[in-house]
Amino acid sequence: MVNHNLNLKQQRGVVLIAALVMVLVVSGIAVTLMSNSSVDMKVINAAQDYDEALTLAYADTSRAIYDEIKLNGATKFTTPNLGGGDETVPMTATGAQATLELIKAPGEPQATNCSPRRSANATNSDVKCSVDLRLSSTIAYGKGNRHLVNVITGIEQESL
């Protein structure tokens, strides 16, 4: 016959301690996984905010160029000196969220051959293009608008 009460007093707390150690290990793993997923979510949200701000900056740039072209006359693109020594002038666009600024390259305008897809005539024509204007579009994004994205677009203009 087997005596079941042989070491009963020595083994009473061993199962409890083993169970507590297992709960501690599983809890540690769970906390680590939760903190890693929290960091991953922050990185994903930051990337999405950046992509949204970049898309808005591109859209506002296109909208500003379109609005200037619609004027059919004296636009800021044809103003020779942009009206200031700093060679920049602020621009606006319908519904723009970005800060827009037209920048003129320093010095005399440099006429170059137009890119083939933009040239009105054959490549051996007298049509030249000036690439002295740039449109800068800046938009703040992120928590508290702490980050900036800036898109600079060159504007090619045909001239004779």
Q: Are 145 and 52 in contact (CB under 8 A)?
A: no
Contact 13, 104 (CB under 8 A): no
What distance in Å separates the CA atoms of residue 127 and residue 15, rounded to the nearest whole number? 90
Reported pTM: 0.63
* 106 in any annotated domain: yes
pLDDT score for 119: 47
In a domain, 12, yes or no: no
Which of 137, 116, 152 has the alpha carbon at shortest distance from 57?
137
Give domain status of residue 14, yes or no: no
Cα(110)–Cα(13) distance, rounded to whole angstroms?
88
pLDDT score, position 13: 74
Q: Which domain holds residue 36?
A: 22-159
User: Does 99 reside within a domain?
Assistant: yes
Residues 13-38: what's their mean pLDDT?
A: 86
Question: What's residue 114's pLDDT?
Answer: 64
The number of folded domains in the chain is 1
Report the pLDDT value the prediction gives residue 106, as an integer from 0 to 100: 63
Three-state SS for 132? strand
Which of the two residues, 109 and 53, has the higher pLDDT score?
Answer: 53
Lowest mean pLDDT among 40-54, 72-86, 126-140: 72-86
Q: Is the pLDDT of residue 64 over 60?
A: yes
How high is the pLDDT of residue 55?
Answer: 93
pLDDT tens digits, residue range 107-128? Answer: 555 566 666 554 455 555 555 6
* CA dist 19 → 25, 88, 128, 130 (Å): 10, 71, 82, 78
Q: Name the residue type at position 69.
A: I
Residues with Cβ within 8 Å of 54's Cβ and at least 6 positions away in sequence, in order, are: 149, 151
pLDDT, mean over the chain: 77
Domain-embedded: residue 155? yes
d(CA 74, CA 71): 7
Q: Is residue 133 part of a domain?
A: yes
Residue 10 maps to a domain: no
Say how many C-beta atoms besides its own lie within 10 A of residue 65's C-beta: 18
Q: CB–CB of 91/68 below 8 Å?
A: yes
In a domain, residue 29? The reply is yes
- 135, 134, 115, 133: which is closest to 123 by C-alpha? 115
